[in-house]
Amino acid sequence: MHIIGLIAEYNPFHNGHLYQINKIKEKYPDSILIGVVSSSFTQRGDVSILDKWTKTQIALDNGIDIVVELPYVYATQSSDIFANGAVTILNKLGIDTLVFGTESDNIDTIASIAELQLNNQEYDNLVKKYLKEGLNYPTATNKAVMKLSGIKIDTPNDLLALSYIKEVKKLNKDINIINIKRTNSYHSFSVEDNIASATAIRNKNLNNENISKLIPYSPKLLQNISINSFYPYLKYKIISTNNNINKYQTVEEGIENRIIKSISISNNYEELIKNIKTKRYTYNKISRMLLHILNDFTKEEALNINIDYIRVLGFNLNGQKYLNNIKKKIDIPLLTGYKKNISKILDIELRVTKIYSLVAVDISKKEYDKKPIIKK
């Protein structure tokens, strides 16, 4: 029996995700599928239009055996930190195989770049050189990779795959890597054979378009919100912080002045990001920066974080049996609900859930009393 790990945001879960799960089950029919899933906010600084509990139920209904939470402090950071949190959790849960989607077919090429980036002084020096020239980090790393290998990796899922592979290599564990080629582009707005990107579905949902054929559940479960729904709260937070926003995670010296200046001339989240954006700061980095301000996530809180618990959101009977068999082998607490004074990461998660609930469906009380969903 294979224990297979999936890393996902499910924002929202759609037919492409179902396709991936079915492909895995075709190849490994007797496997246990463990999904580590972002909860309220995402890696690109967006809000989830499915709350964590609805997301969990949908994942279980569509073939995932165990759903665990990827904490906010990992789920909303750069791809390397995102991958570190997710792969660490899956490793502690005993996976032997990691599966993810990619835009490209050749996983060996991505693996070779991962090897190039690890413990390579020439690569590190090139990245530093390009950063000093004013390039943003993704462009600097890509340029360094191009110079040393002639290979270009710049699509979202290939970049995440690169981070996943690096984390697996760091663990030095015998974890099999399998990629499933995406059937469409991450940012594509096109629809092919009832499969559309999460971006396209969120856009259609916001515009009240019919998406019933694009997702394997009722569209009524999706919330009609976007990150812009939080803009009044963000604006208040920036204005009321008395120009001290550089205490927040990833807000670097100098950029805080652009944020403070731009907040007074911007009418919404999108405008604010465009007014802040420079050559050095990508759209996604600014989105995450603003998200950390909104959620009061500081640089001090981000120091010395590590996975010190695993929170189980749901499982089916096969998943329950597997968890019962391995729980004594896991060296950190396996939680089925919120507990005080267990972890600063868990306390941050509670705060973030309360902020999410200001606009989205209120799930803040469930943090205290909701037990894992059991699909029988």
Q: What is the DSSP string of 3-48?
A: EEEEEE--TT--HHHHHHHHHHHHH-TT-EEEEEEE-SB-TTS-B-
Q: Strand 97-102 and strand 3-8: pairing?
A: parallel
Query: Is the pLDDT score of 75 beyond 90?
Result: yes
pLDDT for 259 equals 95
What's the pLDDT band for 61 if we cut at 50, 70, 90? very high
Top pLDDT among 337 and 297 is at: 297
pLDDT for 304 equals 87
What CATH architecture is 3-104+158-225+305-375? Answer: 3-Layer(aba) Sandwich (3.40)
The DSSP letter of residue 177 is E
Q: Are 300 and 247 in contact (CB under 8 A)?
A: yes
Within 8 A by CB and 6+ apart from 275, the residues are 258, 262, 265, 266
Query: Is the pLDDT score of 183 beyond 70?
Result: no
Looking at residues 167-187, what average pLDDT do you find? 81
Over the stretch 225-237, which tens digit does the pLDDT of each residue have?
999 999 999 999 9
Query: Is the pLDDT score of 190 beyond 70?
Result: no
pLDDT for 105 equals 83
CA 60/CA 312 separation, integer angstroms: 12
Top pLDDT among 189 and 57 is at: 57
pLDDT for 101 equals 87
Say which residue the tokens 């989205």 belong to.
360
Looking at residues 2-27, what average pLDDT do you find? 95
pLDDT for 39 equals 94
Over the stretch 119-159, which tens digit does the pLDDT of each residue have?
899 999 999 999 889 888 888 999 999 999 999 888 888 99
pLDDT for 119 equals 83
Name the pTM for this structure: 0.94
For the chain, the domains span 3-104+158-225+305-375, 114-154, 227-301
3-state secondary structure of 366: helix
Over the stretch 97-123, which tens digit does the pLDDT of each residue have?
999 988 888 899 999 999 999 989 999
CA 125/CA 123 separation, integer angstroms: 5
Looking at residues 310-334, what average pLDDT do you find? 96
